[in-house]
Amino acid sequence: GEQVEQLPSSLIVQEGASVLINCSYTDSASVYFPWYKQEPGKRLQFIIDIRSNMERKQTQRLTLLFDKKTKHLSLHITATQPGDSAIYFCSASKNYGSSGNKLIFGIGTLLSVKP
C-alpha cells in the first residue's frame, strides 16, 4: 500500500530562518496531499494542501511544491517564528469519489524555532 516518508525527522533553526521539509510517496494514484501541523499539547491542524494537477501552492509564509514525476513534495516555511514550532505531517490520498479521503500520513517532522 501507499507509503509516505518525511525528511528530516527533526530540525532546529533560529527565528527568521527558512526551512524545507521533504516528503515522498509511493502510490502514483495519489492525487491529494494535505499537510497538518501539531503544536505542543494541541490538536492536528490543517495548514496547506495541493492536488496532483498543480505544481505549486503558496499561502502566507508557506510554499508547497509538488513533483508528480518523482513523487516528491517539499514544504518551504519562510521567516520562521517560535510559534511555528510544531510537528509537521505530510499526507497523501487517492480519489475515492464522494466517500471521503483516506489519508496516509508520514511520521512527521519536528520543527523547533529558537528565539
Partner 1 sequence: DTTVKQNPRYKLARVGKPVNLICSQTMNHDTMYWYQKKPNQAPKLLLFYYDKILNREADTFEKFQSSRPNNSFCSLYIGSAGLEYSAMYLCASSRTGLAEQFFGPGTRLTVL
Among 18, 28, 45, 60, the residue binding partner 1 under the rule CB under 8 A is 45
From residue 81, give the alpha-carbon distance in Å to each of 3, 13, 37, 54, 78: 31, 10, 14, 28, 9
Binding mask 94-113 for partner 1 (x = CB under 8 A): -x-xxxxxxxxxxxx-----
Applying CB under 8 A, the span of 12-20, 28-36, 55-63, 67-75 interacting with partner 1 comes to: 28-36
Asked whether the beta carbons of 113 and 84 are under 8 A apart, the reply is yes
Closest to partner 1 by CB, 41 vs 115, is 41
Nearest to 65 by CA among 20, 7, 115, 100: 20
Among 12, 26, 46, 67, the residue binding partner 1 under the rule CB under 8 A is 46
Instruction: In angstroms, give the least distance from the CB of 102 to partner 1.
Output: 6
Dist CA 18 CA 69 (whole Å): 26
Dist CA 89 CA 38 (whole Å): 8
Instruction: Point out which residues bind partner 1 (CB under 8 A).
Output: 4, 31-32, 34, 36, 42-46, 49, 51, 89, 93, 95, 97-108
